[in-house]
């Protein structure tokens, strides 16, 4: 069996370029195409790409079918929106469509999953570039002075970042190539970039938080932001709120920069500022 860690796009491209020679004694022709397809749906995608496709011309042709790979993606329980399915079905470059479908079948592409590392501080401040203000950014578990993070947030622990009396900023840059995503793939898929995180304030101190995201494309960048304050009408301290925004795809998308800046509003020494958890950037297809 092939190792998934060894799969690279050059290997996958073999399925699009290296066609086995026909054989007059090809016993695989005795199996109906429908039966072969049904069997292949149970074979790991990486083995179909690096091994099965090279057995014979008949199997190669089956594995060059866009419809087969749509079925394989569904068998691997990867949910594609109707809009994304339509884009892939209508993509004129069959090779590119196959590469995307194969990458999804192998669970290699960073799509429909959170690309932020250490989103709530379970690993301290690792993976974040931090600019400390006041007494510095810290991590609490569980949150102090506020309610527990609700189950609705879907987070595995009660870790959260907590800020101080001067702005504390944490930044993470997501390079899409590190998630096997090339700009041409993003241009075909045109995913919605869903950005979110949860925020709260202590019962005894007003606080504020700003979530920013910057989208980098070919020669261009677009910025979005959302502000939150416990002083806003209707906001109850101790409760957790979800900040969220949706950024549009830009041509040649190659990186996403996530920034959170939080502080308290009463200039109290210590860690009385806004608490944040579950930072998330998802390329949704």
163 band by pLDDT with thresholds 50, 70 and 90: very high
Please report the pLDDT score of residue 255 as a whole number: 98
Q: How many angstroms separate the CA atoms of 119 and 108, rounded? A: 21
Residue in 273, 121, 278, 119 with CA at minimum distance from that of residue 201: 273
| N-to-C CA span, the chain | 30
Per-residue pLDDT tens digits for 6-34? 444 444 454 545 566 555 555 556 678 88
pLDDT for residue 171 is more than 70: yes
Rounded average pLDDT over 193-205: 98
pLDDT for residue 5 is more than 50: no
Rounded average pLDDT over 230-247: 95
pLDDT for residue 160 is more than 80: yes
Using N-to-C axis directions, what is the helix angle for 66-75 and 82-90, rounded to 10°? Answer: 150
Rounded average pLDDT over 86-109: 96
Please report the pLDDT score of residue 22 as a whole number: 56
User: Average per-residue pLDDT in the chain?
Assistant: 91
Rounded average pLDDT over 53-72: 90
98 band by pLDDT with thresholds 50, 70 and 90: very high
All structural domains of the chain with their residue ranges: 4-105, 129-284
- Give the DSSP H or E segment for 45: helix 45-50
Please report the pLDDT score of residue 204 as a whole number: 96
Please report the pLDDT score of residue 26 as a whole number: 57
| Cβ–Cβ < 8 Å for 217, 193 | no
Task: Among 13-17, 130-134, 262-266, name the one with the lowest average pLDDT.
Answer: 13-17
Residue in 31, 270, 234, 5 with CA at minimum distance from that of residue 138: 270
Please report the pLDDT score of residue 119 as a whole number: 98
Please report the pLDDT score of residue 33 as a whole number: 85
Per-residue pLDDT tens digits for 205-214? 999 999 999 9
CATH architecture type of domain 129-284: Sandwich (2.60)
Please report the pLDDT score of residue 56 as a whole number: 83
Q: Which residue has the higher pLDDT, 22 or 136?
A: 136
Prior bond of 142 cis (ω within 30°): yes
Please report the pLDDT score of residue 27 as a whole number: 53
Q: How many angstroms separate the CA atoms of 21 and 60, rounded? A: 10
């Amino acid at each position: 069996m092939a190792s998934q860690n060894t799969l690279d796009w050059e290997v996958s491209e073999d399925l699009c370029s290296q066609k086995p020679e026909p054989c007059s004694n090809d016993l695989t022709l005795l199996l109906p195409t429908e039966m072969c397809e049904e069997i292949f749906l149970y074979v790991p995608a990486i083995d179909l790409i690096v091994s099965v496709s090279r057995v014979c011309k008949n199997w190669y042709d089956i594995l060059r079918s866009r419809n087969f790979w749509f079925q394989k993606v569904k068998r691997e329980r990867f949910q594609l929106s109707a809009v994304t399915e339509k884009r892939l079905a209508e993509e004129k470059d069959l090779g590119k469509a196959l590469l995307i479908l194969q990458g999804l079948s192998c669970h290699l592409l960073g799509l429909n999953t959170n690309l932020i590392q250490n989103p709530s501080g379970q690993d301290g401040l690792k993976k974040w570039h931090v600019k400390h203000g006041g007494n510095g950014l810290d991590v609490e578990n569980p949150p102090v002075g506020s309610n527990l993070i609700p189950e609705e947030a879907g987070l595995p622990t009660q870790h959260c970042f907590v800020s101080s009396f001067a702005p504390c900023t944490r930044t993470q840059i997501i390079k899409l190539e590190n998630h096997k995503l090339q700009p041409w793939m993003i241009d075909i898929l045109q995913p919605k970039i869903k950005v979110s995180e949860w925020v709260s304030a202590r019962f005894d101190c007003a606080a504020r938080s700003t979530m920013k995201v910057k989208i980098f494309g070919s020669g261009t960048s677009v910025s979005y932001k959302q502000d939150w304050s416990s002083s806003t009408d209707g906001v109850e301290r101790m409760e957790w709120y979800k900040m969220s925004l949706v950024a549009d795809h830009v041509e040649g998308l190659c990186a996403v920069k996530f920034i959170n800046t939080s502080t308290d509003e009463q200039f109290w020494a210590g860690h009385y500022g806004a608490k944040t958890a579950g930072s998330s950037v998802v390329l949704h297809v």
